[in-house]
Amino acid sequence: MNTLLKSVTIVNGNTKNLHLKKRDILIKNGVIDAIETNIEPTGKTKVIDIKNLHVSIGWFDSGVSFGEPGYEERETIENGLLTAAKSGFTDIILNTSSHPTPDSSSDIVYLKNAAKEQLTNLHPLGNLTVKGEGEILAELYDMQNAGAKGFYDFKHPMSNANLLKIALQYAQNFGGLVFSFPLDKSISGKGIVNEGITSTKLGLKGIPALAEELQVARDLFILEYTGGKLFIPTISTANSVKLIADAKKKGLQIFCSVAAHNLLITDDALEDFDTQYKVMPPLRTAADVKALQKGVKNGTIDLVTSDHTPLNVELKHVEFDNADFGSIGLESIFGILNNLLGFEESVLLLTKGRSIFGMEEINLEVGQEANLTLFTTEESFEFSEQHIISSSKNAIAIGEKMKGKVVGTIANNQLVLNN
């Protein structure tokens, strides 16, 4: 496949001399063949010439869920990876949210084989404990050898502090990355939304910020004792940002992410009891949102994730108390970030983080394999169901103002374009 990108603005932090410069880019057989001021197409070459077209290295998402195996009605691996490709992502980390959950090397091999020959690369996580039940450590070393990029009982907090300690000590022997979801269940109880003025007014059981922060503080104490690498996914409170910033100053190998919707939407959105806004961690206050945005800008928060969690319709179209937590987000994350931060900062966030998971960083240079995301930056629109590619439609971003659109992606000698 030969592809010529005409007059594209390169957004590339790695090669400063090309950053924000307009160039033609020729790709031959999946490799960047030339980057020049003007390149004329020859032979069978697909030419992409679109107004305001920008290009960066392919985007990366550290927290994506599909359904397969077990919940194929929510999302298959094939359609999930197509959704990721059309949303600009050439690499995604797959959460342990399937049934059965992946807690052995054979499960990891199955997931990798199911994703072969797709444009978007799937990098699976393995369970930290057997069946994600928090009682016995899973086959961490074997799973890492099979291709697991870390170990996570998806959205299930590790209540056994000693088991987390042992996991961190053991995983150091092979450079394993241990995840710990930030929630103390003994504090959160049966809460379903942020504890505060809104939860009181609506009569909904609240989850205090303390439930997250106690768990974060505990995990950081354990990390300081054991050493190793710890990833805390989807933090949501101002104090969590402060705790992690302090830990980083101590030199601990601590990484964290935030869900894009927690950077944008507050718990005021719950006024209409719309179950699309029922997510975990919950939407927090304006003060928390401001602190999270600051944490992203100053680097305390390493990654912004879509926290893409497809759910079949009957799990959302019920009373608020009975609805499941979760929202899809691959299709909307760029529009949210670009509107909040501008395209340069957004692209920086969407392209960083591969090294945390032991993956090679990629470059936009002649001779390198083409791993690229194509996008525009100026078009404003309101996100609606017509923009959803996922099989499931549980999107928290419906009705939100967006800026910029993904045009397509190039990777693995394949090209996927949005219509």
Catalytic residues: 307
- Residues with Cβ < 8 Å from 205, sequence gap 6 or more? 189, 190, 191, 192, 193, 199
Instruction: Give the integer Cα–Cα distance in Å for 368 and 6.
Output: 19
Q: Compute the C-alpha angle 157/159/163, nearest 5°.
A: 105
Handedness of CA 34, 38, 44, 47 (dihedral sign): positive
Instruction: Give the integer Cα–Cα distance in Å for 205 and 1.
Output: 55
Integer angstrom CA distances of residue 53 from 24, 145, 290, 384, 409: 11, 40, 31, 23, 12
CA 204 to chain centroid, in Å, comes to: 28
Q: Compute the C-alpha angle 332/71/192, nearest 5°.
A: 65
Q: Classify residue 413 by burial, with Cβ atoms within 10 Å: 0-12, 13-18, 19+.
A: middle
Q: Parallel, antiparallel, or unpaired for β 22-28 and 31-36?
A: antiparallel
Nearest CA among 303, 293, 347, 362 for reference residue 177: 303
